[in-house]
Structure 1
């Protein structure tokens, strides 16, 4: 890892802080005497900000530069976290802070993925992006664990559920200082982009299929996160083992796979093909609905899902690096697949399809497997 990449890796680490809103919801619900539905507004506020700001963030990054966009996002996140540290806010103000945190994290994601190319050595971009996504996963897991430690460690528990915010603030501030001091030579388009020019990129089938691929990938990943535990329990596993060998094992392997891709010198195309193949086989194993095959499905799925995002993203950006910010905005907007695709799987589950409901993520990965061998995305890192 080169020293100049460290601030960007740190920015990816703090991106995971937004994922702590889910584990924090129970503490917030107790503090404000909320219903379970109302407490989910924390995660909703993050998600809706992502949906609203991804494309505009890509356009803004193309105009002001990706480094400035990262600094802006880090500043917004630090400010959003500082408010609950200084005083207990009303629930409305808290939601406003979380919405700002979501918008700031959107800026980090949109600018962070392509700027990694600007700070990476030649040929190292796909590996560095995979490693960065793995570090983001570690940030998500660490944030969730810190939320749990708030209840048992006196140094955190003084502020109750807000006790973890000072730690988040220090990390945000450190990333902000280091990022502000980083010198980056960015590739930029000759003509400032507009919304029309950004959307016009989708006329290229390679870009359209890449955005659709991200949409389906995120949808498939959310399906795994949402339905693995109840599915494994339905296959005969106990509730505890279903939780441990389902989403917990899946996301652990997701992080391991990304870290491995960041360290092993294979091409982005090879990783993309391997990931798509393993993910498809894993989903098919889960469709069988038996304990042994379901465990194999979780293992293969976790390793297969790991490197779809970084490799597809890197291969797409390498086609038009001068349009990286706009492409990043379009692909980050496709994260909305996490809202739509699981609804279909949920409907199949409600109709009693059991393991066959995993046909939804399997279909998503069938598309991705086809995309992995499509000549339009055959770009070497």
Structure 2
């Protein structure tokens, strides 16, 4: 692994910090005595930026470069996470923190995959990208595991995440800033808003986009709602064992992605898709079983 690839892998780790919004929902609900609607608004503020910024930042990236967009995402997330270091005194300030963290993660996601191709050695892009997603999953898990460890064994508050994330983002930003990356530019006109949305005229692309929209919505609702469900229905402490429910959710996703890559080598994609949809529906129905 070369130095450039290592730098981008650090960006993938920081990209995973955006998934900490899920654990934050339950923790902030208890911290600020929020209603369920107010708590879920935290997840909305975090992930709405993916919908608002993905296409515009792709257009900006076509004109300014991937490294610029990557550093912009790191900087915005850093600003958001620095705010709580001066005191997390209000729900409104926390929403602003989550909004900026979500914006930074969304921008990082726009630049992450393309720039990984630029820093990968010939024939190593797929391997590096898969490993990058694994590193991102570590960042996602940190939002549950670090507060759990801090509360269970060190008697510390869940807000210990903020200085850890700030330090990680700052180190990554400095390393990438001093890393020279030779970007590969496409031999075509930069994309426009019209050219992006014209893709939706293809029925299959439209269905794919809608499918991703529904899936991501379910994933976010589950990741943020599981700790609250464990707390309200089973009396599990959110600051300790409740967070493990969220960690288990991300571990299941990580395991499923790995198994899927293996199973798809000998099972037809459409058959595998139908099987996983059936299992997912069964899992959702089991949530409503009062056991």
- TM-score (norm. length: structure 2): 0.76
Which structure has the higher relative contact order (CA within 8 Å, separation 6+)?
A: 2
1:97/1:120 Cα in 2 relative to 1: closer, same or farther (>3 Å)?
same
Structure-2 residue corresponding to 1:255:
254
Corresponding position: 1:194 with 2:188: no
Corresponding position: 1:37 with 2:34: no
Q: Distance in 2 between matches of 1:109 and 1:152?
A: 32
1:98/1:224 Cα in 2 relative to 1: closer, same or farther (>3 Å)?
closer
Structure-2 residue corresponding to 1:164:
161
Q: How many residues align?
A: 274
1:178 to 165, 175, 180: 175
CA contact (8 A) 2:144 2:247 kept: no
Deviation at 1:106, TM superposition (A): 0.5
Q: Distance in 2 between matches of 1:276 and 1:192?
A: 34
Deviation at 1:208, TM superposition (A): 5.0
1:165/1:223 Cα in 2 relative to 1: closer, same or farther (>3 Å)?
closer
CA contact (8 A) 1:131 1:261 kept: no
Q: Distance in 1 between matches of 2:4 and 2:266?
A: 26
Structure-2 residue corresponding to 1:136:
136
Corresponding position: 1:124 with 2:124: yes
Q: Distance in 2 between matches of 1:121 and 1:20?
A: 32
CA contact (8 A) 1:134 1:256 kept: no
Could you say what secondary structure the match of 1:121 adopts? coil
1:78/1:217 Cα in 2 relative to 1: closer, same or farther (>3 Å)?
same
Could you say what secondary structure the match of 1:151 adopts? helix
1:7/1:275 Cα in 2 relative to 1: closer, same or farther (>3 Å)?
farther
Deviation at 1:162, TM superposition (A): 1.9
1:144/1:225 Cα in 2 relative to 1: closer, same or farther (>3 Å)?
closer
Q: Distance in 2 between matches of 1:11 and 1:147?
A: 22
1:25/1:226 Cα in 2 relative to 1: closer, same or farther (>3 Å)?
closer
Structure-1 residue corresponding to 2:230:
none
Q: Distance in 2 between matches of 1:281 and 1:255?
A: 18
Deviation at 1:171, TM superposition (A): 0.9
Deviation at 1:29, TM superposition (A): 2.7
Structure-2 residue corresponding to 1:284:
278
Q: Distance in 2 between matches of 1:272 and 1:125?
A: 23
- TM-score (norm. length: structure 1): 0.60
Q: Distance in 2 between matches of 1:202 and 1:286?
A: 27
Q: Distance in 2 between matches of 1:208 and 1:191?
A: 24
Q: Distance in 2 between matches of 1:84 and 1:25?
A: 16
Structure-2 residue corresponding to 1:145:
145
Could you say what secondary structure the match of 1:135 adopts? helix
1:260/1:53 Cα in 2 relative to 1: closer, same or farther (>3 Å)?
same
Q: Distance in 1 between matches of 2:280 and 2:27?
A: 34
Deviation at 1:248, TM superposition (A): 6.7
CA contact (8 A) 1:15 1:139 kept: yes
Q: Distance in 2 between matches of 1:99 and 1:162?
A: 17
Structure 2 unmatched ranges of 5 or more: 228-233, 237-241
Deviation at 1:139, TM superposition (A): 1.4
Q: Distance in 2 between matches of 1:218 and 1:172?
A: 25
Q: Distance in 1 between matches of 2:254 and 2:118?
A: 24
| 273-282 or 220-229, larger mean C-alpha shift | 220-229
Deviation at 1:147, TM superposition (A): 2.0
Deviation at 1:275, TM superposition (A): 6.0
Q: Distance in 2 between matches of 1:70 and 1:29?
A: 32
